[in-house]
Structure 1
Amino acid sequence: MSDNPVSDPMALAAVAKRASKTGHPPIHLWNPPFCGDIDMEIRTDGTWFYQGSPIGRPEMVRLFASILKREGDAYFLVTPVEKVGIRVADAPFIAVDAELGPEITFTTNVGDIVTAGPDHPIEMRGSEDAPRPYLHVRNGLMARIDRKTFYRLAEVAVPDENGRMILHSGGTNFPLEP
């Protein structure tokens, strides 16, 4: 690791750890200067890579996820003093499980717990033949709902007045069709 914070993700992780003692840090309040891109990527399966190697420590991934920010179609790791760009292949998170009941509460691969509703909608993308479900997690960051969880959602979906299959959570209906 170098002394240059742009090429040293450990420095970013240290700031994230200090800032996230009580949940997610207030990245919406941080507007530091852009310091460049780093060789970090979140792949379609939700695996985080640094310089071509997977980041194997779940704690480190959770720290980086806590300082992830989306601006338009670009993704950044943000601290109070710097902002560095990273690549995201699809959605930065994966919804890996759901508690089904009157409300649907999802768990992501980075430990976020999110209840679907008006502030956290379920959104269908893709085609009728290949639907891809997503969940809004926070601040424009999405989680793709994994296949096993989507199948569980489909089992509890009910038809609406037009025959479309929908889910209900948080006082909101979500169609299960693109």
Structure 2
Amino acid sequence: MNIFCHPRQHPFVRRLKAGSAPICAVSGAFWKAFGVVMLAMLPSCAPAAVQPAVTGKSPAEAEREVRRLEEVEWARAVQQKDTAWFQRHLADELVATTGRTGRVTTKAQEMAGILSSTGGGADRVTELRVQPYGDVAVATFRLETSGSDDTGPYTRTARYTEVWHFRDGRWQLVASHSSLIPPP
């Protein structure tokens, strides 16, 4: 295998021909070191279904629970202005990036925004996909919502990526990012 290299030789690289400057070949020592690193990384590449669930739940059970949180419980909590639900399910270290303004918000700011919203419960989650990774699950979905806020009435569609972490016997949202989809 030929590679281009700096004239100053790296220990893993040897010259192909005496006197040749930049064209080099990767030595056997490099491939040996590379193989050791790749073998060490192999366990981290196993599919989530094969990895043991730290939660004590199967990947299917974790997916079902996060799906329920995204599709059912979140909307119910918003409609009922259920502060206790948000206190339980939004992590103290939550970082949320909004698609409308690009602003990064905290748990307190998210709760204030959610609880002051006058949305009419017209939220619709579609294209929900949940991928569990032990005690973490990543949810991606499309959200169509309408209501009113400090800017007036709105109808918006956005794509979300949310990261849930299972700890203290419950799933908590630790990160959320939305990207606004412009109207057609």
Q: TM-score range by the shorter chain?
A: under 0.3
Q: TM-score, normalised by structure 1?
A: 0.21
In proportion to residue count, which structure has more helix? 2
Q: Looking at CA atoms only, which structure, 1 or 2, has the larger radius of gyration?
A: 2
Question: TM-score by structure 2 length?
Answer: 0.21
